[in-house]
Amino acid sequence: MNNSTYQKPTIDLGRFKWIFILLGFVFAYYTFQLFSYQIINGASYQAQAEDNRTEVISIPTQRGVIYDRNGIVLAHNIPSYNITVTPADLPDSDGATHAIFDKLSDLIGIPLSNGVVNDETAGNFSPCNTDLGIEQIVEIASTNWPFQATRLKCNVTKEIAMVVSEKAQDWPGIGVEVQSIREYPTGDQTAEIIGFLGPVPEVLLDYYTNLGFVSGRDKVGYAGVENSMQDILGGTNGRRVVEVTVGGEIVRNLEEPVEPIPGQDIYLTVDLRLQTAAREALIYNLNYWNARLGKILSTSGVVIAMNAKTGEILALVSYPNFENNRMSSVIPGYYYEQLSVDEAKPLVDKAISAELPPGSVYKLVTALGVLNEGVVTPEQTVDDPGMITLQQKFYESDIGFEQNYYCWDHKGHGPVDFLHGIAYSCNVYWYKVAGGYAGEVPDGGLGIWRMSQYAKALGYGEVTGIELPGEVNGLVPDPTYKRLNIGENWATGDTYLAAVGQGYVLATPIQVMNSIATIANDGKHMQLGLISKIEDAAGNVTQSFEPKQLWDITKDALIEEYDGNTPTGVKKTVQPWVIALAKRGMEMVTDTGGTAYEEFIGDTNKIAGKTGTAEYCDDWANAQGLCLPGNWPAHAWFVGYAPSDDPEIVVVAFAYNGKEGALFSAPIVRKVIDTYFALKEIDANLLVSMSGE
């Protein structure tokens, strides 16, 4: 018998220590995590939770309408219809859903099933821009945003939209989304003025997002008034802050909804009737001369008309331009590329963005300068033998070399005075009075420094400030410019060329017109304007055009005096009699055997003006082999105003490579001015007729 005592098995209490330590670590870990979640990062997690249950919905506004001065619609909004599906609202029965999809497929022209849903197709899915079938689109939408409407087909006809709307009870989950798109009733007749819309640019995404725009949905102005007046036309989107479920279903509003503010309507100063006439006159002359010469002479040009007294722009044509209606829904890549590579640059508004040699229309700058500075008297004659030889020098002690300078009429005009210098557009006269000529015009004539002062007083070298994007400065050259940009000293002949609007002188068509308008308006330089008035959605006028005189060269001292090449700091005005003689010279251009006399025979509107034939040699002319020494190609200019004794309208016409201003551009100006007075008479008679009723 075993007498040993039975002992119950026991666990060493020391082992419990490690269990307690482990449990302590676990408890401490979870306590710390709980403290972190609730105390340290509580605010952050609460914000994330709020974000998960909160959604901000942008409510699109309506863009303002653009009208001409008479209330004719130039840009407005029209409805575009999209067919949508909301997966959460579809029938529970797969059979009923399939039956709806089957009928819908036939109606909107999308296959019932096409393709497969995988990471690639789901990641690249873009509504209305996919080859997937209805079932695949619904599968992607139900997985990601079941309570949101997803577009199946965009821009369907109104008839299809009405059919879908009528089936609303029978086709739950299928709906019609009405989207506003831009339409331009006048199309390319006014495209360079109106512009077009496009998606929010990536470079301006933050700017427009801060203003409440939604990338991928909202559009902004890309050109013309649509761009320059974006803040006025665009309005302000509305806003809803709502609570949503995990699936995206809206539960309730968390804040009072903010209603959208519609964009304001804009009335332009442009008269569509005159705009159409100007465009047709330009195109007619382009086609006429191309056909008459049996070759393509010119394919592009500009016509601008303004009210001489107020600065209102009545017409602005840059041809060729583009068809902005083709960009109303999307900007087609192929069409935009076609416009971008076109050598005629239809996307560039050449009226304000083309820097061109102005040619002889610039002689009016020299004209004001030589009389006002006393370089010559009005009666003093200068001999024009058709060609003069100049000693071309780059500095005073330079021996130089001989350089010939020609009048456009190589036979010469003989003795020429101031008025006939304008009327005949005699190059040699302006060469001599601007740069000096031994035995006839002493002391270097007007000189480039003084000439530049008169150019700037007439508005050259600065933007006009018209309400259009992309306007450029042009160039009023001087020795400093040439030294810094060309790396050469100013040559004697540079002054001769600048005097006739050649050499380094560059101007935009709108600057050329505005310079002549200043003279026609007896020295008053007006602010050009394109906006007649702005109205809010209630019809209240919030802004209206008011004529603004920027300066008067006969009263405001703008011309700085020079002692040789050194400014004295003393400034002067232009004497009124100088402007009167310059105007008389322009009258002689059209009525006393001047350069445009034949084109204005029978004119009853008393049109005065100035021709311009500006030689040029740019990349296009070089590529065409046109830049031949002594026979460069030329642009055609004419600026006219009427009536000469009390100007109401000023018109400039420019034709790229048009050869001669009198033949090519003067008839365009006459047609536009004749149309203006005909329309004025029609409107007056209509007003009398209406008042009689």
Token pair in block for residue 14: 């020391």
pLDDT at 295 over 60: yes
Choosing from 224, 245, 268, the residue where a domain stops is 268
Residues 165, 194 share a domain: yes
Choosing from 251, 268, 285, the residue where a domain stops is 268
Helix (H) / strand (E) element for 611: namely: strand 608-615
633 within domain boundaries: yes
Band of residue 37 on the pLDDT scale cut at 50, 70, 90: low
Residues 478, 421 share a domain: yes
The C-alpha atoms of residue 375 and residue 373 are separated, in whole angstroms, by 6
Least confident of 112-121, 216-225, 246-255, 366-375: 246-255
Q: Name the DSSP class of 597.
A: T
pLDDT at 50 over 60: no
> What average pLDDT score do residues 290-297 get?
94
Residues 296, 243 share a domain: no
38 within domain boundaries: no
Band of residue 10 on the pLDDT scale cut at 50, 70, 90: low
63-84 residue pLDDT tens: 999 999 999 999 999 999 999 9
Residues 492, 454 share a domain: yes
Tokens 């096409």 locate to: 114
Choosing from 214, 241, 268, the residue where a domain stops is 268
Tokens 């109106």 locate to: 194
Asked if residues 270 and 351 have their Cβ atoms less than 8 Å apart, the reply is no
How high is the pLDDT of residue 689?
Answer: 81
pLDDT above 70: percentage of residues in the chain: 94
Which residue has better confidence, 57 or 402? 402
- Among 25, 9, 29, 6, CA closest to 17: 25
Band of residue 48 on the pLDDT scale cut at 50, 70, 90: low
The C-alpha atoms of residue 333 and residue 327 are separated, in whole angstroms, by 10
How high is the pLDDT of residue 580?
Answer: 98
How high is the pLDDT of residue 284?
Answer: 97
3-state secondary structure at position 97: helix
- Among 378, 435, 388, CA closest to 412: 388
Residues 277, 244 share a domain: no
530-572 residue pLDDT tens: 999 999 999 999 999 999 999 999 999 999 999 888 899 999 9
Residues 251, 301 share a domain: no
pLDDT at 34 over 80: no
How high is the pLDDT of residue 21?
Answer: 76
Band of residue 200 on the pLDDT scale cut at 50, 70, 90: very high
Residue 638: strand pairing partners = 611, 653
The C-alpha atoms of residue 623 and residue 633 are separated, in whole angstroms, by 12
pLDDT at 47 over 70: no
> What average pLDDT score do residues 369-397 get?
93
> What average pLDDT score do residues 349-362 get?
97
- Among 364, 358, 433, 379, CA closest to 583: 364
The C-alpha atoms of residue 298 and residue 359 are separated, in whole angstroms, by 17
Residues 291, 159 share a domain: no
Dihedrals phi, psi of 385, to nearest 5 degrees: -85, 0
Residues 639, 608 share a domain: yes
pLDDT at 6 over 60: no
Q: Which residues contact 330 (CB under 8 A, 6 or more apart)?
A: none
7 within domain boundaries: no
Q: Name the DSSP class of 323.
A: -
Q: Name the DSSP class of 39.
A: I
141 within domain boundaries: yes
Least confident of 84-98, 271-285, 306-320, 649-663: 84-98
How high is the pLDDT of residue 244?
Answer: 77
pLDDT at 606 over 70: yes
Domain that holds residue 503: 272-330+351-533+544-684
What CATH number corresponds to the domain at position 230?
3.90.1310.10
How high is the pLDDT of residue 557?
Answer: 96
pLDDT at 38 over 90: no
What CATH number corresponds to the domain at position 426?
3.40.710.10
- Our count of domains for the chain comes to 2
CA distances from 127 to 330, 334, 485 (A): 14, 21, 52
Mean pLDDT, the chain, whole residue set: 91
The C-alpha atoms of residue 186 and residue 270 are separated, in whole angstroms, by 13
CA distances from 456 to 296, 354, 459, 558 (A): 36, 18, 5, 9
22 within domain boundaries: no
Residues 591, 497 share a domain: yes
